[in-house]
Chain A
């Protein structure tokens, strides 16, 4: 096989854990290298994924058609009621709009769309071109908001102004403008908001149900199955639980500062982290011991049911090797633990947007010889997958064909998934999906297993 050279500008973003490389100084949180075929998207993408599941708000993309077309119904974020989020709205700017400005078109679009769909709020995403032509979207939003009597929130998500993470921040800034605008009356002491949970395949409902069984009131989920009115009163909750910390930790911090609401970072993937997410909340409300008791009951019941099933999968998967390349590094931590509980070894752990602490943590968790990589690309990923003889890749839509082409099984852990992977039931689904892909007989025909290429 041809030897691959890592591009000069990327060498510091790749690290192999072994005794010789004691110093760990991975470069991260930087813009992608030009010409490297990054798997990342842009600022707009960051904002769009965070706000997308707010189901009773209008999401209008201000710019030429592409950005709206590619994000139409893109996430598996489901709603128990309104489904405005599954429609795609664009100001569809044309050349003349670019020359003369798109403010009038934006204004007219918003007035008409609000009249047609009667949303509870509207998010207006600015795309690359808006950052150049200088439309004052704040002013348009203010005007429309005054006329229509709903929050109309600018989301400053011009694609080139940073990375996906900056898009998360812009989304949090927009949400923060609604938080606290409703009445918190009637919210009890044992209450939480769930942040960074997007209700993919109904995951938020699974988690919410666990907390409710513990006697905890869930004021809002942000943004899974999200409702504007819930977000408005979310400042009345006693605690914020932040899952997928990359995307919404900023909102938790802002709410802590403004409303004094503490927050906890959790993950809902795998038995260990899921259980911890329930126990941590119980410990926070330690003045009511019945909450901890209820948490123990939930965990023991769920784990009792799940564990024997996992053992069956483990028999088949024990000793198999996995590669992980996901959006946020926090998810990688959970996946390493979840794979460990299936007897699988992680040979590659990477993310699009991890920070130094994340990668430090990954390094601590991983075995000798594991590759840790930031903002990787298909050439690097395929090289490491083959060199480390991975049996499985965990990633998203863009990573899937890399695995399949090379004859490697795959588990989709990204936002398009249709099967819940969070919660205890999610761990079962995860194990099942991994098992079904790894154990499929189709790989016998793959070149790496001796088939023809």
Chain B
């Protein structure tokens, strides 16, 4: 059977505005606002809700035919007025969809008009605009665009202070909580942006919280322009598109770009940098976590050695997971992403110098049908990625280890932990157990010790 190549089949990516909405959810008292059709907001809400199991209110300017013909100015202003009245936000995070981008709405100009028409006595929310047309890039680009736009809008310069800004990339609420714990234990004042650890994984409510509590405070983001350094977890994002790149360019703040800290070596790199920047030695508890992790690697090494895995998802996640898999003896036979930075292979080779000798295939811009076709030749033992790989896993009887976003077919996806020694430990346990479970289930003997 000849595979159709032109169309995208079972996409291994989402659209740009989704990432922007997620990032905006991580800012305190901020409401995401999509300038476009009603459907974009609703689909993205539904998609995020199915993962986070939390209300995700996203406003829309609700284009109609007239809006498309005459421009979105009227609808945008009306929507901003209504959302301000109803949600009382301090920040509105506006992302422009393919529709408003294609008709060429000048959001900055509309916002200036909105300002001049507003009652000067009434304070209005800060407006942040991220350009996120879905015909460019994927959801991860929207995530970074919104984060960068936030910094660009809010960060203020001044005398440098003892402060660190961390841009964690698109990680889970559990990861965000762990990062905060780490930074606190190094006693270093920090800004973590975005931080949806509470807004998208919070407690019960007595009444409806239009904007759930939590998120990076506006005043903290303003200070990021005076930080001593910024760290961002990314391998493929370049300075001109990244938030840390903006701070460096504008305020001369040194930026450290690290791979997502998954695995011992990458976590070491992160902790070493924190030791250096904070001039504080590694707290004992992380030393202990590291020791337990090394011990676990040893205990579990034979289960996983030589196993072949297909890794897919956002490029930064794929790179970090691949580096981690090489620490534990798993062969990543295919590293695949729906994203298309053009440098995935290059960055992977920096982490895994023997990438070609190992025969690791690297593919950008793929969909799940491409991955399935590769799987037929590569015969992997494992799939490692988000839950959209389940169709492929089921059809080909390849066990799947669910990580990242989205997790739509398991409970607790928002609480999956991936980063640092502790996150790696949880991830390693799950990978080993997936191998054991598969082996146990496919054996006729019914082993009770594995």
Interface residues of chain A, those whose CB is within 8 Å of chain B, are 1-2, 5, 7, 9, 31-45, 60, 63-73, 86-95, 97-98, 105, 108-109, 112-113, 115-116, 128-129, 131-133, 159-162, 377-379, 382-383, 386, 397-398, 400-402, 404-407, 445-448, 451-453
Contacts and interface: CB of A to CB of B under 8 A. Distances in A.
A21 B44 CA distance: 38
Contacts of B80: 35
Contact of B208 (A67, A86, A93, A378): A378
Contacts of A401: 49, 53-56
Contacts of A87: 9-10
A406 B15 CA distance: 31
Given A36-B86, A45-B42, A116-B1, A129 B98 contact: yes
A308 B284 CA distance: 64
The 3 A-B residue pairs with the shortest CB-CB distance, nearest first, are: A42-B39, A66-B15, A35-B79
Given A7-B85, A64-B98, A406-B208, 19 more contacts: A9-B82, A36-B86, A37-B41, A37-B83, A41-B38, A42-B38, A42-B42, A44-B39, A91-B7, A129-B98, A131-B68, A132-B102, A160-B36, A162-B65, A378-B210, A379-B210, A405-B205, A407-B205, A451-B204
Contacts of A405: 54-55, 204-205, 208-209
B207 A2 contact: yes
Nearest to B43: A70
Given A67-B43, A89-B9, A160 B49 contact: no
Interface size of B as a range: 35 or more
A42 B208 contact: no
Contact of B42 (A40, A69, A115, A129): A40
A65 B38 contact: no
B49 A65 contact: no
B75 interface: yes
B31 to A, nearest CB: 9
Contacts of A129: 98-99, 102, 135
Nearest to A42: B39
A71 B86 CA distance: 30
B135 A98 contact: yes
Given A63-B98, A129-B98, A398 B49 contact: yes
B39 A34 contact: no
B205 A406 contact: yes
A89 B9 CA distance: 5
A147 B18 CA distance: 38
B110 to A, nearest CB: 13
Contacts of A71: 43
A137 to B, nearest CB: 14
B103 interface: yes
A367 B206 CA distance: 27
Contacts of B209: 405
Given A37-B83, A73-B391, A447 B7 contact: no
Given A65-B134, A132-B99, A109 B204 contact: no
Nearest to B54: A401
A95 B9 CA distance: 19
Contacts of B4: 109, 112-113, 115-116
A67 B39 CA distance: 9
A109 B39 contact: no
A446 B207 CA distance: 11
Give the most central of A2, A37, A132: most B CB within 10 Å.
Answer: A37
Contacts of B297: none
Given A113-B4, A161-B65, A34 B15 contact: no
Interface string B24-65: 000000000100111111111111011001111111111111
A94 B59 contact: no
Contacts of B64: 31, 160-162
Contacts of A377: 86
Nearest to B63: A160
Give the most central of B10, B54, B61, B391: most A CB within 10 Å.
Answer: B10
Contact of B7 (A89, A94, A382): A89
Nearest to B40: A66
Contacts of A451: 204
B42 A38 contact: yes
A4 to B, nearest CB: 8
Contacts of A132: 68, 99, 102-103
A386 B207 contact: yes
B14 interface: yes
B46 A92 contact: no
A271 B98 CA distance: 46
Contacts of A33: 62, 78, 82
Nearest to A70: B43
Given A32-B38, A34-B78, A36-B59, A66 B207 contact: no
Contacts of B206: 406, 447-448, 453
